[in-house]
Structure 1
């Protein structure tokens, strides 16, 4: 992992380092990502190239399977092997890339123009991705927030279908979307979800694949809160989350069903990631998640 540029608030607080990913191994599906992702106190909550899944890269947008016209296999932009039905996970020659074609700063955001490419280099989707950062005090907690606004345009000449291992037949493996690989100290952390009373802890099996307006994680060292926009395609997002062994958090819109994008059609997305120091109180999660998740 080389260099990177700092992503900062207007006041100059660094919330993470933004990498284009152009030097990453081809089998890891090179792509832009944010790492480290930092709390207001400077603690790193993200992980990079962990031994169990060396293609995991901090915070970013990843899709494990995209059906693209003219490609024999689904394009894998997650990295590593592809789930292929009865064959299980197989390393195919289908690991694509998200290539940063241009970069500019506008309205306190870092804006990237990105080409999504198959393994043979052919482009099938063009994206404009804007990364911005600020600090908030909500629910009595100081949070650092990273916001990603993304516009996808299908340039493949035909329809695209975005899926997951679950849409290919593997239960409870619907990962792909807005993804954060968490630091090792989140192993064994608590998952916090909305409830009738505000918020409460839930188990992995109880929340995997379910839809919520937001989802949070607590650990002794830091807390995180991920919030998809209520205006995102497909309605409330299903979630892929683990806190045992391989801690990760993913707003996974393609968990259960493929999402289709016609030729020349457009999808618009927005996600927020809030991070705080320490194990914040459960009441702080809905106080932040409800306010941030309200459409503008």
Structure 2
């Protein structure tokens, strides 16, 4: 029997070669049909929480990188989107950074995809779309560990990353959530300083995207946005979250942020020990639904040569439009102690 606040162990199972993920209805998923490097991320009872792809077959102008899609609720509903017509480089859940200044590169490296915002010029398609290249991956009993190289458009590696994906089922007050936790260690291998930024740091207001990013399914168009009550630390005291307007949430800073449509709810949680503390939120509900913990929203972050940044985020998804109090309690339960790289490395 599951106990409140207790997570069940998850298993990440490697699928060989070319795979075909099947949805809850048993039919093949055309969007990941035949994609090499697909990994089913499974909870202990065998239900699929998402499909992890290495992104290696995506167009170079879209900044290839690993991503999770579809992201599924416990009931099998898809909450993520892939290659929406408005932004073909938006793919499910992953880590994407809009601009990175790298010594020796003419333009900032774009690991978000598509054009780059240039101060005084607007969006320009430059020859600067980099990639996050999978060097090695391995599974442990409860996680998938990836060794990645962040590369400029010319193939020069400037950052190494250890990324661990783990999945579990979290029952909280009668609501079952699937939780995907991503722990990521960035190491500067460029020989010079790296500077991470966003379109807002380049001059475009309220466009501070980049970080831990989820492109939501079209069913979240017009979804309600739910935030932590600013008067109470919801990670320490259970209580009720509050509905807020998209404009209020955009650029706000807090431990968690959620969105709910008629048939599903999503909740993104930041660990308080992340570099710089809680990041601002980039969120859109109308038209292009998306949610992003955006550490470089307003301020650039500098990483010195051989420097290290450790990050941890969680995404929780549930069926139905859950209440504000359920968001707050799930966020409190989701915060986990930071683990060092030795703990996250797969056996």
Normalised-by-shorter TM-score class:
over 0.9
Q: Which has the larger radius of gyration?
A: 2
User: Helix, strand or coil for the counterpart of 2:133?
Assistant: strand
Matched, 1:80 2:122: no
Task: Measure how far apart 1:290 and its partner are.
Answer: 1.9
Matched with 1:282 is 324
Matched with 1:177 is 211
Matched with 1:118 is 152
What is the rounded CA distance, in whole Å, between the counterparts of 1:185 and 1:32 in structure 2? 24
Give the alignment's TM-score, normalised by structure 2: 0.84
Task: Measure how far apart 1:291 and its partner are.
Answer: 2.5
What is the rounded CA distance, in whole Å, between the counterparts of 1:251 and 1:227 in structure 2? 8
Matched with 2:297 is 255
Task: Measure how far apart 1:131 and its partner are.
Answer: 0.5
Return the match for 2:259 from 217, 238, 255.
217
User: Helix, strand or coil for the counterpart of 2:120?
Assistant: helix
Residue deviations 1:17-48, cap 9 Å, x none? 00000000000000000000000000000000
Which sits farther off after the overlay, 228-237 or 89-98?
Answer: 228-237
Matched with 1:236 is 278
Residue deviations 1:1-26, cap 9 Å, x none? 52521011233221000000000000
Equivalent pair of 1:139/1:283 in contact (CA under 8 Å): no
**Structure 2 gap segments, 5+ residues each:** 1-31, 232-238, 339-347
Return the match for 2:268 from 205, 214, 226.
226
Matched, 1:192 2:234: no
Equivalent pair of 1:9/1:132 in contact (CA under 8 Å): no
What is the rounded CA distance, in whole Å, between the counterparts of 2:104 and 2:271 in structure 1? 33
User: Helix, strand or coil for the counterpart of 1:149?
Assistant: strand
What is the rounded CA distance, in whole Å, between the counterparts of 2:299 and 2:140 in structure 1? 35
Q: How many residues align?
A: 296
Q: How does 1:102-181 map to 2 (within 5 A)?
A: 102-181=136-215
Equivalent pair of 1:10/1:108 in contact (CA under 8 Å): no
Matched, 1:268 2:310: yes
What is the rounded CA distance, in whole Å, between the counterparts of 1:109 and 1:248 in structure 2? 26
User: Helix, strand or coil for the counterpart of 1:241?
Assistant: strand
Residue deviations 1:191-221, cap 9 Å, x none? 0001136211111111111101000001001
What is the rounded CA distance, in whole Å, between the counterparts of 2:336 and 2:49 in structure 1? 23
Give the alignment's TM-score, normalised by structure 1: 0.98
Residue deviations 1:255-278, cap 9 Å, x none? 010111000010101110000001
What is the rounded CA distance, in whole Å, between the counterparts of 1:140 and 1:169 in structure 2? 45
Matched with 1:65 is 99
Return the match for 1:246 from 280, 288, 299.
288
Deviation above 6 Å: which 4+ runs of structure 1?
A: none
Residue deviations 1:141-175, cap 9 Å, x none? 10001010111100000100110000000000000
- Cα RMSD for the two superposed structures: 1.1
**Structure 1 gap segments, 5+ residues each:** none
Equivalent pair of 1:165/1:175 in contact (CA under 8 Å): yes
Equivalent pair of 1:159/1:263 in contact (CA under 8 Å): yes
Task: Measure how far apart 1:109 and its partner are.
Answer: 0.5
Residue deviations 1:124-150, cap 9 Å, x none? 000010101000111321000101011
User: Helix, strand or coil for the counterpart of 1:287?
Assistant: helix
What is the rounded CA distance, in whole Å, between the counterparts of 1:216 and 1:138 in structure 2? 16
User: Helix, strand or coil for the counterpart of 1:27?
Assistant: helix
